[in-house]
Amino acid sequence: MKITWLGHSAFRVEFADKIVIIDPFLSGSPVFEGDPVEAAKGATHILLTHGHDDHLGDTAELCKATGAMLVSSFEVCMYLVSKGVDGDNINPGNHGGTVDCGGFTVSFVNALHSSSTMVDGTPVYLGNPMGLIIRAPGEKVLYHMGDTDIFGDMELVQERYRPDIGIVPIGDRFTMGGETAALACKRYFSFSAILPCHYRTFPLVDQTPDRFLAAMGEDAGKVHVPDIGETVEL
């Protein structure tokens, strides 16, 4: 499995014949450099954890450009259909559910956050925020936590899905900070690899993974910290 960090919470995940883009906040991101369409070239699926603009990002445009299937909550999917995404190429779900994406599945789990977009200066509800579990035959199980705080039922996520790779928000203020994210990883999960996200993007969030790495202690060796645009093979 090849995982490329595109900045913030955006990732390109490649396995078998699939190319999955998660939370593609690219053209509006202060840290992404390059062409969003090129970054999503060949995408077969676009997965969204929730409806905030720094996660919706370029989804509508990329779905149109690539023909990728959109996978998210019902509300997020229908909102993006109103923005021109093909309504016959969406795969909606909700907490506790699993959807078949053809060669892999996505399961939707809890995230402690919110989910909305701004329309004419007013927040518009876009369903509940979610974490995403990606499972494919012969591949490691990937858990993108989305934007979240720590919560006790992470223990059940571990018991039910046993994720190998964790994509974990660490930036503080809007998600877990480094110390809390490390506590979540060490208390509830048995990850073989961890990729931090949701930092460095804006001045209000942490600019480095240093607090997270320090709090991980002897488990810091599990943490991969790619530069933006860099690929890690796991």
- Report the distance separating Cα 62 and Cα 4, nearest Å: 17
Burial code (b: 16+ CB inside 10 Å, e: under 16) for 64-86 equals eebebbbbbbebbbbbbbeeebe
pTM above 0.95, yes or no: yes
> How confident is the model at residue 53, as a pLDDT?
98
In the chain, domain spans: 2-225
> How confident is the model at residue 119, as a pLDDT?
94
Could you tell me the CATH superfamily of domain 2-225? Ribonuclease Z/Hydroxyacylglutathione hydrolase-like (3.60.15.10)
> How confident is the model at residue 6, as a pLDDT?
98
> How confident is the model at residue 178, as a pLDDT?
98
For residue 204, what are its two tokens? 């209000």
> How confident is the model at residue 15, as a pLDDT?
98
pLDDT beneath 70: ranges in the chain: none
